[in-house]
Amino acid sequence: MSQFAGAIAQIALSGQIVHVAWATLLGIVVGMIPGLTATLGVALVATLTFTMPAQSAILILVCVYIGAIYGGSRSAILLNIPGTPANAATALDGHPLAVSGRAGEAMAVATTGSFLGTMAGMVGLAMIAPVLAEFALEFTSFEFFWLAIFGITLCGQLTALDDPLKGWIAGFFGLFIAMVGQESIHAYSRFTYGYRDLEGGFGLLPVLVGAFGCAEVISVMRQPAGEVVRANAQSVLRGVGNGVRSVRTWLRSGLIGTFMGVVPGVGEDMGSWVSYAAARRAAREQGQYGRGSVEGLLAAETGNSAAVPGALVPVLTLAIPGSAPAAVLLAAMVIHGLRPGPLIMITQPDFFFSIVAMVFWASVAIFVLGIALTRPLLMILQVRREWLLGVIFALCAVGAFAVAGRVFDVYVMVAFGILGFLMREAGFPVAPLILGVVLGPILDANFRRSLSLSQGDPMDFVSRPISAILAGLVLVVVIVGLAPVRRALARLFRRGQEKANA
């Protein structure tokens, strides 16, 4: 506790609180503009922090990340267009509230939910990460191989609930993309076909910026422009009070969101939807949901914000991202010489508590800025999106080029932008693809290391206790994702509900 308090004080007294203010505000602006996502915001800002001290750079990226997830609620409420995918559930009740003349109250409820959710996730981060890091010390290359497979299969299923096969195809296609270039042990070229630019593989940031940013620009340009609902600031305090009083809703959503964030590759989107569904099931008046429910709005915003600190848990303890923005944050940590993983609590305990303190200050910043700038920030939504998205595309190209100074990375960004757009049109989720690109090197290196240790015997992958458990979890996820099994489980669930109602 003393280390946490010391980290909070250090940020406040060292002048880095200025970074907290402007980075969180930038994150809010990025999140509230349709076409920009938290992933794109963190990726673009990451390209500008390479020359900064590691502590300041990570603080800025964490604040942009948290601010962007919150900022997406503004456009979801006022435009009925989620600023980020994590705010899709927010629009279900937020926009009807705004249309009914309660836009100020709706934004205050969203702000309160985001603040409380981030705080709940912060507590989860501080409690779960040390335990998970100690447990992860038992992991060897066999366990890390299965952990990568488990993350891909689970992410594929949860991001494509209607057809998990599409999620799995996207995830394993991402693994294939990660295999392009020289492998890490013998520097043998794979899938390069004589092109020298492919020797280094596809850069993570150009792929992320393309698949999320460029693809989002194309998708938004195809949609009709939304009309901004006028907001008043008179009911802001009432909205804060309504949010704080709904203790059961934000506590439940905070726990669910934190858990969904911890699961590799799932992140804020599912944290929001699962929290919203749980709140709806527990509500006495379920018919109000989707028509302007304050508790529905609160649950969605609490869930997605709680998932942000939750997503940092596997980043810090396993070096595996819990979400797409967390993948960019992980890449930035490595670039700045930080080494997340099971040994972080031993080798860099001060850095861990600094991350927790960063989350604390970012949550305070979104509450203060969200309440104080309710009306001024709305002016940004009045800018013509044709101008805005043109600037965004230019920033995507600059961000992709700035990583390594290669024009090839700009081509990669454009190619993955087109690929991401086509995947969305065909109903394939993009998140498993990105997770596959991130986990590909981890899976590849640990798979070959494991075969070397076992002298080629594949039975060692399932004979070790932790490996056997992870392999069993992968098998369960695959079986549950099969269509006949899902139909049978749905029938059993309906029968259980009918018996309970009887």
Q: How large is the average pLDDT for residues 380-401?
A: 73
Q: What is the 3-state secondary structure (H, E, C) of 425-485?
A: HHCCCCHHHHHHHHHHHHHHHHHHHHHHHCCCCCCHHHHCHHHHHHHHHHHHHHHHHCHHH
pLDDT (tens digit per residue) in 448-472: 889 888 888 888 888 888 889 889 9
pLDDT (tens digit per residue) in 86-144: 888 888 888 888 878 787 888 888 899 999 999 999 999 988 888 888 887 788 888 88
412 or 239, greater pLDDT? 412
pLDDT (tens digit per residue) in 137-167: 788 888 888 888 888 887 787 777 678 889 8
**For the chain, percent of residues with pLDDT exceeding 70:** 91
Q: Where are the domains of the chain?
A: 2-501
**pLDDT tops 70 at residue 299:** yes
**pLDDT tops 80 at residue 326:** yes
244 or 425, greater pLDDT? 425
**For residues 482, 486, 489 and 491, what is the CA-based torsion angle, rounded to 10 degrees?**
-140
Residue 167, CA atoms < 13 Å, CB-side half-sphere: 25
Check residue 189 and report its DSSP letter: E
Q: Which amino acid is at 191?
A: F
Task: Report residue 37's pLDDT band, with 50, 70 and 90 as the boundaries.
Answer: confident
Residue 115 has a pLDDT of 93
Count CB neighbours of 232 within 10 A. Answer: 13
Angle, alpha carbons 231-365-398 (nearest 5°)? 90
> Among residues 196, 292, 297, which one has the least CA distance to residue 253?
297
pLDDT (tens digit per residue) in 229-257: 555 555 667 777 777 788 888 899 999 99
Tokens of 372: 């104080």
How far apart CA 261 and CA 264 sit, in angstroms, is: 7
Task: Report residue 1's pLDDT band, with 50, 70 and 90 as the boundaries.
Answer: low
Per DSSP, helices labelled H in 265-347 are 267-282, 294-318, 324-335, 344-347
Count CB neighbours of 140 within 10 A. Answer: 15
Residue 176 has a pLDDT of 92
Task: Report residue 318's pLDDT band, with 50, 70 and 90 as the boundaries.
Answer: confident
